[in-house]
Structures are given as C-alpha cells and as structure tokens.
Amino acid sequence: MAKGIWVFAEHSDGSVRKVTFEILSEARKIADKIGEELCAVIVGNQVEALADKCGPYGADKVYVVENEMLNQYTTEGYTKALTDLVKQHQPSILLCGATVTGKDLFPRVAARLETGLAVDCTDIGLDDSNQFFVKRPMYAGKAYAEVGFSDATPKMASIRPNVLIPSPPDESRKAEVIKVAVEISPDDIKAKVVEVVKIAGEKLDLTEAEVIVSGGRGMKGQENFKILEELAEVLNATVGASRAAVDAGWKLQSEQVGQTGKVVSPNLYVACGISGAIQHFAGMGTSKYIVAINKDPEAVIFGKCDYGICDDLFKVVPKLTEEIKKLKKD
C-alpha cells in the first residue's frame, strides 16, 4: 500500500524556495494525523547541501536525486527523475509549489503515473474519514472547489505560494538524507534549453511576492512607473500592472495581474490608477489587504478595497513613499 507524504523541494540559485517550507509545515500536520512519514525530494546536480534545510520544517527524510543532466530544469529530465523514484517508493501523497516549475512538471508526472492532480490549491487537509482533499480556486477565484481524489496514488497537488504559513523552523530537527542515483541519457531530453534570457530588475515573481504595487491606465505612460518603483523599493514590493498598462506597452506581459495574467495573493496589494475590472480583480481578489489609489470616486475598486484614497495618484504615491520611509526609520 502506498505510504508517505512527499514534497518536491524546489530550489533556485542555490537555495530552497520558500513555498517548499510552507508546504512541508502544513504537510507535517497531515503526516502526524495519518501516521505516515514526511519526505522531501530534491532533484538537481550537486544539491546535497540543500537537504539540511528541510528537516527543520518537518521532513523525516530527504531524497537527493542527482545527475549532471539535471543541472538545469527540463520537463523530461525532471519527470523521469521524479517518476522513477515515486514508482520505487510509492508515496500516498505528492505535493509541490504551484510555481513556474511545478506547473510544468506535475501535470506531466501525474499523467505518467496515471493519477489525479489538483493544481494551484489554496488549502490542503483531511476530511472526517482522514481522506486527503484540497481547496482550489476556479474561474480565476470567482468560485472555489473542494476536490477529492480517486484511489490512484500518489494523490498529487500543487499549492499556491504565500497561502500556507510556514512553521518556525526547529533547527534541532534533522532529516535522514538518502542519496539516489538516476540514469538519464541525453536522448531522454528532447526539448533542450539553449538560452536563458534574464529580464533586468525582475527578481521575485509576482506570484511569490508578499507585497505588490500595481499600476494601471491611470499611470499615463511608461516613464511614470518610476514613482511606483520607488514606492515598491520602500515596501520591498514587486511591481505589477493591469492589462491596460501591459497592452499600452508600459509593462511586460509577465507583469500583468488578472484573469489572463498572473493570479496573486500577497499580504498587501496597492492598486494605483486601476479601475478594478472583474478580470483584474480575479487576479488579486484574494490579497490580504488591498489599497486603492484612484481619482474617480465611482471607481469599482473602492467597493472592494480595504483602504482607499480618492485623489490624483501622482500627488499621493510620492507622499506615501515618503511617509512609509519615515515610519520605517522610527
């Protein structure tokens, strides 16, 4: 019988991504309830050093799957590495972050294992008879669903970053580290990454940002986003945009928030010169706090925000930056 809860531990630039700790912390509670062990799986090349990071968040074991061919993420290489290991050990539940990588990898893995996958979940848990189930948004968050699984295992879910709360790490907790060799030949990887183009200044993906400052058509031009960047700087925020701002060419497609852009749930979302169209709201409606700065008192967004300022954003935003700077100094 399948046993064990596994978390695919995603890493980048030599550190484990925060979403992994969020999932481990929540999965620990489930593992305790059903009396199964919690394991992290790290896939890559020379990544053993990262294994120590998972114990403090609750992992009992860490599988480290290494191969030179796994130095860079590829769908085919990682799918093979992960499915081979899953077939060998047969965990009951397999989780990952709903990140760029998780959204590419898990659907492929689930199809290969012929099992069920619920993506972009905002909660995971057990029902009254200890069956695993998840909650996830549909229709870009205009509705939610509780989703259960057939008997196929592992039951798979990807979880949206920033929604589960990581436990404080217990540094005295050590996980057993198990190194696993995987055979991958160059022929296994047909889709090859030939180049990675970095966009300067874009460091944290919007979906993982805890604070987002967004601009819309009211920004009136690309050059004016400078005031949002300054506000973002003091708030340690990532800058986003409405579709109107993206379609005007002021911001990149990867920065669009909304139903046909990114769906985000930061602690704080500051919407500047954004009217609050249904498609935009679909992308940020689950933010913990929403601030709206808009000069139109009739703007829809004022009906759905926590704090609003009805005024010219070009006057308010620079002042807000100053005020927050002052507060942070105290």
Partner 1 sequence: MNIIVCMKQVPDTEAQIRVKPDGSGIVDSDIKFVMNPYDEYGVEEALLLKEKFGGTVTIVCLGSERAIEAIRTGLAMGADKAVHLDDPAFEGGDAFSTAKALAAAIKGMEYDLIFCGKQAIDDDLAQVGPALAEMLGIPQIVVVTKVEVSEDGKKAKVNRQIIGGEEIIEVPLPAVLTAQKGLNEPRYASLPGIMKAKKKEVKSVKIADLGLDPNAVGKAGAKTQILKMYSPPQRESGNIIEGETAEETASKLATLLREEAKVI
Ligand X SMILES: Cc1cc2nc3c(=O)[nH]c(=O)nc-3n(C[C@H](O)[C@H](O)[C@H](O)COP(=O)(O)OP(=O)(O)OC[C@H]3O[C@@H](n4cnc5c(N)ncnc54)[C@H](O)[C@@H]3O)c2cc1C
Does 55 help bind ligand X (rule: CB under 6 A)? no
Question: Is residue 79 a contact partner of residue 105, using CB atoms and an 8 Å limit?
Answer: yes
Residue choice 170, 176, 306, 312 for contact with ligand X (CB under 6 A):
312
Q: How far is the CB of 206 from ligand X (least distance, A)?
A: 12
191 binds, among ligand X, partner 1, none (CB under 5 to 8 A by kind): partner 1
Instruction: Give the containing element (helix H, strand E) for 279.
Output: helix 278-284
Nearer of residues 182 and 277 to ligand X, judged by Cβ: 277
Chain residues 251-290 in contact with ligand X, contact rule CB under 6 A: 256-261, 273-275, 277, 279-280, 283
For residue 160, give the 3-state DSSP assignment.
Answer: coil
Does 41 help bind ligand X (rule: CB under 6 A)? no
CA 52 to CA 65: how far, in whole Å? 14
What is 28-70 written as a DSSP string? HHHHHHHT--EEEEEEESS-GGGGGGTGGGT-SEEEEEE-GGG
Does 61 help bind ligand X (rule: CB under 6 A)? no
Residue 297: burial class (beta carbons within 10 Å; 0-12, 13-18, 19+): exposed
CA 271 to CA 215: how far, in whole Å? 6
Nearer of residues 170 and 312 to partner 1, judged by Cβ: 312
In Å, what is the CA distance from 96 to each residue of 82, 215, 245, 259, 277?
Answer: 12, 31, 32, 23, 31
Nearer of residues 25 and 256 to ligand X, judged by Cβ: 256
Question: How are beta strands 132-138 and 123-126 bridged, if at all?
Answer: antiparallel
Q: How far is the CB of 278 from ligand X (least distance, A)?
A: 7
Nearer of residues 176 and 247 to partner 1, judged by Cβ: 247
Q: How far is the CB of 237 from ligand X (least distance, A)?
A: 18
Nearer of residues 79 and 238 to ligand X, judged by Cβ: 238
Peptide bond into 91 cis (omega under 30): no
11 binds, among partner 1, ligand X, none (CB under 5 to 8 A by kind): none
Q: What is the DSSP letter of 209?
A: -
Q: Could you give the string, one character per residue 212-251, with x where binding to ligand X holds by CB under 6 A and - elsewhere?
A: ----xxx-----------------------xxxx------
299 binds, among partner 1, ligand X, none (CB under 5 to 8 A by kind): ligand X
Residues lying near ligand X in the complex (CB under 6 A)? 216-218, 242-245, 256-261, 273-275, 277, 279-280, 283, 293-296, 299, 312-314
